[in-house]
Amino acid sequence: MHRRLIAPGALAAASVLLAIPASAASFTPGAPGIGDPYYPAYGNGGYDVSHYDLRLKYQPATDELEGTATLLAKTTQDLSRFDLDFLLDVSEVRVNGVAAAFSASGEHELVVTPKSPLPKGTALTVVVRYHGVPSSKQAYGFTSWHRTPDGGIGANEPESAWWWFPSNDHPLDKATYDVSVLVPDGTQAISNGTLQSTSSKLGWTRYNWRENKPQTTYLATLAVGRFDVTTGTSEGGVPVINAYSKDLGDNDGAARASVERTGEIVDWLSGYFGPYPFSSAGGYVPNTTTGYALETQTRVYYSPRQFANGANTSVVVHELAHQWYGDSVSVKGWKDIWINEGFARYAQWLWSEHEDEGTAQQLADYVYASHPADDAFWTVKPGDPGPENQFDGAVYDRGALAIQALRNAIGDDAFFAVLKGWPQKYAYGNASVADFQRYAEQVSGKPLAALFDTWLFQPSKPAAPAARAASVAPSARGAAPVQPKSWKRIAATNDVHGAVR
């Protein structure tokens, strides 16, 4: 994309230029975005990260974060310079041991110019030394760093890394993580994966976390504060680590009564989605004022507000379903959000059925019947909603309705084979809505282009014949739709990502 068109007459002159060392002509800057049309500046071009090693120190009283990030990467083009996405203050950058020039650019770009250009395929070790107060930084007028009375939290979608580590911030570039955080004694640092070790010295405690499976940058999380940490193992053998802020007040009981069921729900979901893909599971509930929950890998982020009306296992089901649908199998581009949210919502419908509070079919019928044809709900296309509607309720409800239509079209045997086979086929990778349609067609042996188009890509309510063909909305004409018992609780999780910009 950086090639210029050269008029034929200019070629002779250009070939003279090519006689000088090829390096000077072929090394170009990496793109400042990875190429996602929803978020053109997110992620970067020219390299691919395989591992992040973050060695941090955080002071809860002042929100000061300092640290060193070591990125292992490989160049994917002849590279003269490259960008990272980051907001904190950088004091030094080294590329393969050699000091590199660097500067801030745009809303969240750190431009790194290595001393020598880097041929395609070069292994890179990029060291970034930095410090700053995350809560003092904004990009596009918002922050994803949440201060709490006793610390700070990085958790948001689609962006949260900028506030605490430099990265190639897009789901397409997944990597493993070691996150080591030094905090004052009595304070805990929570992150993804397993807690490898802790050590204390001179009033400070170090927490060493490891996520050994590929993880996208928005699913990396850091929480520092005073937490009560619980550990256990699910009946199916999955280690569980949960953490609760010590000042959750009246929400404390409901939070624990929900999140402590993580192991049970992971095992239940494994029955539909196949083996749990990661080496640990769990969640944490910090004392934040946000409203949403987020499927941060292995360690789900829950806002206390999710539990203001009592225990809510439905939100736990939603976020744990994402561990398969979203975390292990991640979107290729943000337009593919349905392969995350449609299925996490559908898992809530399956849980409703399990809890005897309404079947998936009843929930689908209710969604279809309760939104009249002129409702703006139907103008949102779950298969490509646009960045402004990425987390619109229709992506969830219409998205899950589409899944029920698929189920009715291909039958339960094929449908549940698809549901379980998909997370295996694309485990630890990326996939698109088109990939899902292809996979469902392959497993079911049925052409599904018309069904996907009707339910995911048309900006209008599927007409009655289409709905009847998909066995959705069979209720008699004019009959008031019956609201399933689980509806309100499921709808309450519409806030799940509601506070995201």
Handedness of CA 431, 434, 440, 441 (dihedral sign): negative
- List the strands of the sheet with 145-148, edge to edge: 145-148, 151-154, 222-225, 188-190
Q: How far is the CB of 226 from Zn ion (least distance, A)?
A: 28
166: burial class by Cβ within 10 Å (0-12, 13-18, 19+)?
A: buried
Q: Which stretch binds Zn ion (CB under 5 A): 126-134, 280-288, 341-349, 478-486?
A: 341-349
Residue 84 within binding range of Zn ion, rule CB under 5 A: no
Q: How far is the CB of 360 from Zn ion (least distance, A)?
A: 17
Q: Which CB atom, from 33 or from 342, has the smaller least distance to Zn ion?
A: 342
Distance CA 360, CA 270 (A): 18
Q: Which CB atom, from 389 or from 408, has the smaller least distance to Zn ion?
A: 389
Q: Which CB atom, from 344 or from 409, has the smaller least distance to Zn ion?
A: 344
Q: How far is the CB of 322 from Zn ion (least distance, A)?
A: 6
Q: Which stretch binds Zn ion (CB under 5 A): 53-61, 244-252, 340-348, 354-362?
A: 340-348
| Ramachandran assignment for 395, one of left (phi > 0), alpha (psi -120 to 50 degrees), beta (any other) | alpha
24: burial class by Cβ within 10 Å (0-12, 13-18, 19+)?
A: exposed
Q: Which CB atom, from 341 or from 365, has the smaller least distance to Zn ion?
A: 341
Q: Looking at this protein, which amino acid is placed at residue 85?
A: D
Q: Which stretch binds Zn ion (CB under 5 A): 28-36, 92-100, 230-238, 337-345?
A: 337-345
Q: Which CB atom, from 177 or from 338, has the smaller least distance to Zn ion?
A: 338
- Any idea what the Cα angle at residue 346 is, between residues 340 and 350, rounded to 5°? 140
In the shown chain, the binding pattern of residues 19 to 38 toward Zn ion, with x for contact by CB under 5 A and - for none, equals --------------------
Residue 344 within binding range of Zn ion, rule CB under 5 A: yes
Q: Which stretch binds Zn ion (CB under 5 A): 96-104, 189-197, 222-230, 342-350?
A: 342-350
Q: How far is the CB of 87 from Zn ion (least distance, A)?
A: 25
Q: Which stretch binds Zn ion (CB under 5 A): 232-240, 260-268, 336-344, 410-418?
A: 336-344
Q: How far is the CB of 327 from Zn ion (least distance, A)?
A: 11
Strand 300-302 to 283-285 pairing: parallel
- The alpha carbon of 217 is separated from its chain's Cα centroid by a whole number of angstroms, namely 8
Q: Are 293 and 318 in contact (CB under 8 A)?
A: yes
- Comparing every residue's Cβ against Zn ion, the nearest one is 344
Q: How far is the CB of 318 from Zn ion (least distance, A)?
A: 6
Q: Which CB atom, from 173 or from 341, has the smaller least distance to Zn ion?
A: 341
Q: Are 240 and 276 in contact (CB under 8 A)?
A: no
233-269 core/surface letters (b: 16 or more CB in 10 A; e: else): ebeeebbbbbbbbeebeebbebbbebbbbbbebbbbb
Q: Which CB atom, from 109 or from 341, has the smaller least distance to Zn ion?
A: 341
Strand 98-99 to 89-95 pairing: antiparallel
Q: Which stretch binds Zn ion (CB under 5 A): 16-24, 237-245, 334-342, 349-357?
A: 334-342
Q: Please tell me whether the peptide bond between 382 and the residue prior to it is cis, using omega within 30 degrees of 0.
A: no
Give SS3 for 239.
strand
Question: What are the helix (H) ranges across 92-152?
Answer: none
The tokens describing 100, both together, are 């590199």
Q: Which CB atom, from 219 or from 224, has the smaller least distance to Zn ion?
A: 219
Distance CA 204, CA 183 (A): 5
Nearest Cα neighbor of 280 from 318, 240, 319 is 240
Q: Count interface residues toward Zn ion (CB under 5 A).
A: 2
Q: How far is the CB of 345 from Zn ion (least distance, A)?
A: 7
Q: How far is the CB of 321 from Zn ion (least distance, A)?
A: 8
Q: Which residue has the tokens 């999710």?
A: 306
DSSP tag of 77: S
Q: Which stretch binds Zn ion (CB under 5 A): 107-115, 125-133, 146-154, 333-341?
A: 333-341
Q: How far is the CB of 349 from Zn ion (least distance, A)?
A: 14
- The alpha carbon of 314 is separated from its chain's Cα centroid by a whole number of angstroms, namely 19
| Ramachandran assignment for 10, one of left (phi > 0), alpha (psi -120 to 50 degrees), beta (any other) | alpha
Q: Which CB atom, from 124 or from 395, has the smaller least distance to Zn ion?
A: 395
Q: How far is the CB of 157 from Zn ion (least distance, A)?
A: 8
Q: Which CB atom, from 156 or from 188, has the smaller least distance to Zn ion?
A: 156
Q: Which CB atom, from 345 or from 461, has the smaller least distance to Zn ion?
A: 345
Residue 394 within binding range of Zn ion, rule CB under 5 A: no
Q: How far is the CB of 428 from Zn ion (least distance, A)?
A: 19
Q: How far is the CB of 162 from Zn ion (least distance, A)?
A: 21
Strand 89-95 to 227-233 pairing: unpaired
Q: Which CB atom, from 207 or from 268, has the smaller least distance to Zn ion?
A: 268
Residues lying near Zn ion in the complex (CB under 5 A) are found at 341, 344
